[in-house]
Amino acid sequence: RLGVERLRNLPEVVNGPKLPAGCTLFPWSALKPEERADLEARIQAEDSEIPPELSPFLEAPGLEPAADVSVGLRSGGKVLGWQIGHRLDPKTVQYTALYMDASLRRGIATYAVRTECVRRQIAAGVPEQAFEFKPDNETLLHYMQQVARPYITHWSEVRRSGKSLGA
């Protein structure tokens, strides 16, 4: 868990995040129908670089989508990144999908998307963030280890396993 109040006075939260040239941020609720169709096709493609579990269209059972804090990133007329949140409770947003195109992954784009989500979360009066991610999600793991660590209030690990009981 991460308390966003501790981030309120960071310059990029106060002034807005810096973006790579040609990139713009947008509220996820403003995703255009043609962008949605393009993303769905890219996600379903056999050679997709977007892991299915990072699809921005996955529903989180029992969780309310947090449209007021979910953000996308466009460049060259294409959606190349997003962070999608769901409400765990009135005080907490759980970010369930963070994805950034490989061409932007190691630069400031991921940080810009995360920062904009923090700005929107503060404006919405939601004080806590929670994250659930696989350890092979390099984008979010890098962010958590390199940027967010000083602001984390609680870190726990959950391990899951499963077995198919099918025919």
User: Beta strand pairing status for 64-65 and 92-100?
Assistant: unpaired
At 55-114, the pLDDT tens digits run: 999 887 777 778 889 999 999 999 999 999 998 889 999 888 889 999 998 788 988 998
Tell which residue, 120, 134, 126, 4, has the closest CA to residue 72: 120
pLDDT tens-digit map of 10-32: 788 888 888 999 999 999 999 99
Confidence at residue 162, expressed as pLDDT on a 0 to 100 scale: 67
Give residue 28's pLDDT. 94
Pairing status of strand 128-131 against strand 92-100: parallel
pTM over 0.85: no
pLDDT digits (tens, 9 = 90+) for 139-151: 667 777 777 777 7
How confident is the model at residue 151, as a pLDDT? Answer: 75
**How confident is the model at residue 167, as a pLDDT?**
60
